[in-house]
Each structure stands twice: as C-alpha cells, then as structure tokens.
Amino acid sequence: MKRVGLLVGREQTFPESIINSINEKGNGEVVAEMVKIGGITLDEEKRYDVIIDRISHEIPYYRATLKRFALEGTYIINNPFWWSADDKFFNFALATKLGVAIPKTVLLPQHSYIKDITDESLRNLEFPIDWQGVVDHVGFPSFLKPFDGGGWKNVSKIHSLEELFTEYNASGTLCMTLQQGIEYDQFVRCYCVGKENVLIMPYDPSKPYLSGMQYVDVEDYLTPELHARVEQDVKTICTALGYDLNTVEF
C-alpha cells in the first residue's frame, strides 16, 4: 500500500479535497492523510511514499524533516533541496533570461544584521546606497518586499523616496527587493501541476488574503493570444525551477 501525506498551512479546502480524492481513487492501494510528526531521529524509517508540501517554506522544522524523509526515498512535492537554493530574486533573474516579462527589480542590502556582524564584516558593501540610482531604475509606484518567502508578508507599496526610507528602515534583518509597480488592467493567478497542466484564473489581489474572494469568475478574461502567452510562461518558469506544484501570478 502506498501512502501520501499532506503538509499544509492555513489552506481550508485543498487538503480535505485532495485527501478525499486520493482515497476514493486509490481503491485501498493508495491512501492519503495529514502528516503528523514530532521528534525526528537520524534513523527514522520511511513513513510516506509521497508528501505534498504546502507550508515548509515558513517552518524551518518542516524543511529539515522533509530533507530527512527524502533520504528514505520519499518523493517530496516540491523538492525540498531545490527550495533551499531558491529565492524570488534569483527566480526573477532566471525568468528574465528565459524571456518572461518581469518588472524592473533591485536587490538591496539588509538594513540591520545579527549581533556578531560588524563593520569589518561589511567592508564589501557600497555605502551609502545610491538610492537615487535605485529609484531612477525602478520608478514609483514600486513594491518593497523580501527577496524570498511568500504570503504577501512584509510587502509595502512605495510612492516616494521618503516612504522608501521609512519602510526600509523598519525592515530589520530582512533582505529586501524594490520592484517596479505595474498598474494592471488584468491580474491572473495560475496553478501549474506537473509542469504541464496550467489553470489560469482571474484574481483580485486587493481582496483580503485567503478570504476566498480573490478569485473572480469572468469568462474570456484574457484574449486567446494572451492566454497562450501566460500558459507558456507558466510552463517555462515551473520547468526551469523544477516545481511539480506551483502558482504563478501575472
């Protein structure tokens, strides 16, 4: 019997739906359940054949556990080793090289550092930052956000140099990017499964996160040409990053 485990965060509908679907179609040969873990030992035996991971990007314990499970032959969706090398800024740069349209983006040095980082540790940093050069490149409005992570956390919309200084000074030890703000007419969130199957959905990011109100039911939202372009760009990104399950927003 094959076992599938789900590691999830605040999602409400997805976990129960996919567990029920796998159990209904598995005919007893494949079963799915929520992962339950506590202390993990070095000689931990294999518990699952597949784990679908939706939350380890926020929980270091989960990330370490998944890499340990991978040593026993568990297939992790998505690859936890690649995730450790992954960040948004690298993804932006890679997508740009692959021909995907990405807003202008600048990676910024951290504002603050952990206790043992001294001036000597930072001798390679340009100081002060050429803030005018940064904003001349990116423009306003722009978005100040961490170079990794997700969930719309620690993201600020910036309209002036004064706002940029205020938000940057409050960013602490987070490494931030400043990205060109695109005033959009259409916004889509795209699910990609298996690097090939793409579902493009109209999306309203101004609605409360995880409220269920972000998804908008609009027929023929994109022209056929734009739909094809978005679908191909999603496949390009997910294939390049090796993601079995991913969402991409345009």
Following DSSP, what letter does each residue of 155-174 receive, concatenated? -EEE-SHHHHHHHHHT-TT-
Of 69, 44, 68, 65, the closest CA to residue 56 belongs to 65
At 209 the pLDDT is 75
How buried is 158 (Cβ within 10 angstroms: 0-12 exposed, 13-18 middle, 19+ buried)? buried
Q: How far apart are CA 222 and CA 199, in angstroms?
A: 13
Lowest average pLDDT, out of 31-40, 84-93, 213-222, goes to 84-93
d(CA 87, CA 85): 7
C-alpha span between 81 and 78 (Å, rounded): 9
Percent of the chain with pLDDT over 70: 100
Give tens-digit pLDDT for 194-239: 999 999 999 998 888 777 788 888 989 999 999 999 999 999 999 9
Q: What is the mean pLDDT of the chain?
A: 92
Residue 150 has pLDDT above 80, yes or no: no
- Say whether pLDDT at 124 is over 90: no
pLDDT at 200: 97
What is the pLDDT confidence band of residue 57, given thresholds at 50, 70 and 90?
A: confident
CA torsion 21→209→177→131, rounded to 10°? 170
pLDDT (average), residues 64-73: 94
Task: List all residues 6 or more positions away from 223 whose beta carbon is below 8 Å from its beta carbon.
Answer: none
pTM: predicted TM-score of the whole model, two decimal places: 0.79
3-state secondary structure of 178: strand
Angstrom distance (rounded) from CA 89 to CA 236? 17
- pLDDT of res. 116: 86
Is the predicted pLDDT of residue 152 greater than 80, yes or no? no
- Of residues 148 and 225, the one with the higher pLDDT is 225
Q: Which helix (H) or strand (E) holds 143?
A: strand 142-146
When mean pLDDT is compared across 50-59, 135-144, 166-175, 210-219, the lowest value belongs to: 210-219
Long-range contacts of 112-115 (CB under 8 A, 24+ apart): 112/171, 112/172, 112/173, 113/173, 114/173
Residue 207: the pLDDT is: 86
